[in-house]
Amino acid sequence: MSENNQEIKFDPNKPLQVGGQAVIEGVMMRAPGKIATAVRRTNGDIVVRKRDYKSLGEKNKIFKLPILRGAVGLLEMMFVGIETLNFSAEIAMHDLELKDRIDGQELKKKKTASNLRLALTVIFALIVGIAIFFVTPLFVTTKLFNVEQDAYWFNIIAGVIRLSILLVYLMGISMMKDVKRLFEYHGGEHKAVMSFESSKQLTLESAALSTRFHPRCGTSFILIVAIVSILLFSVVDALMILWLGKLTLPIRLMTHLPLIPLVGGVAYEFIRWSSKRTNTSLGKILVAPGLWMQRVTTKEPDSSQVEVAIIALRCALGMDELKPVRYIQHVSELTIN
């Protein structure tokens, strides 16, 4: 049953009140006080997990301070995202094993093993991500370019390398069948949010007509992080050169890596600021690169994928669902037969 039969209207003065993430065959949506994840099963049914959620910023005002709120929010959403991906992966695995007609005891053992593998995979992916996107550009710039003591040119070159790696990586994985489907759900998530923020009725029809490009997308955020890192690390390197006389790769690693949360916090503030100005000429120029990159990370969804995104958002907002859905809290609530 829905909690509220009234349509909830978007408040343009609070542009960050809803957000989401594509998961395996589904979408997670976050609204004030709630998180809802809708996943389509292999039999076509849609299951939803909805739970209360209070961010650290809502619990303690200190975490609402500029810069800090972005850094803390990133960490929070990372854990929420990992946990949500785990939930959708368990449903996918459940349906695959159901298809193979295995018994419940064997299923439970395999789920536990899968959870452990997923957790290890996520940790490994984070380490690899930092190594590739932050360490590698520093290493390559140090070894191939004679600009180690030039704070600004060093970070500009490292930033270009970082952006190039990111673009090649995104274009490469976008060719994978499973990732392409994930990017389609990503497009569906954007359409649902854009429909809501355009003050349209939150229905399948209105969302289908909305754009799949959104200025607050994580893709845009990653691009802003890359640009902010160039500016911030240039200043830090210049100060370190004044202090130490020269910089080496180990010193750069020791100063740059701990500042990654700060880079994220500054990037968040920029996204927050620019999202209020997307209708201005300056705002359109500032968000254009991120929207262009979304041509890689989002794909046009079909109606069934948009439907899942709409259901997730309506459930997060406490509105009527488009169709009857089954609410669950744990995958174990899905029966084997």
Instruction: Return per-residue pLDDT of the chain as tens, 337 residues.
Output: 444 444 555 555 554 578 889 998 999 999 888 899 999 988 888 999 998 888 777 777 887 788 888 778 777 787 788 888 888 888 888 877 766 654 444 444 444 445 555 556 556 666 777 778 888 899 999 999 989 899 999 999 999 998 898 888 888 888 888 888 999 999 999 999 988 888 677 888 888 889 899 888 877 788 888 888 899 999 999 999 999 888 899 999 899 888 888 888 888 888 877 777 777 777 778 778 888 888 988 999 999 999 999 999 999 988 866 677 888 887 777 765 4
Q: How far apart, in whole angstroms, are the C-alpha atoms of residue 296 and residue 219?
A: 9
Query: Given this model, what pLDDT does residue 171 score?
Result: 86
* 102: CB partners within 8 A, 6+ apart: 110
Contact between 315 and 28 under an 8 Å Cβ cutoff? The reply is no
Q: How far apart, in whole angstroms, are the C-alpha atoms of residue 252 and residue 272?
A: 29
* 40: CB partners within 8 A, 6+ apart: 25, 26, 46, 304, 308
Q: How far apart, in whole angstroms, are the C-alpha atoms of residue 335 and residue 200?
A: 37
With tokens 């969302």, the residue in question is: 207
Contact between 314 and 195 under an 8 Å Cβ cutoff? The reply is no
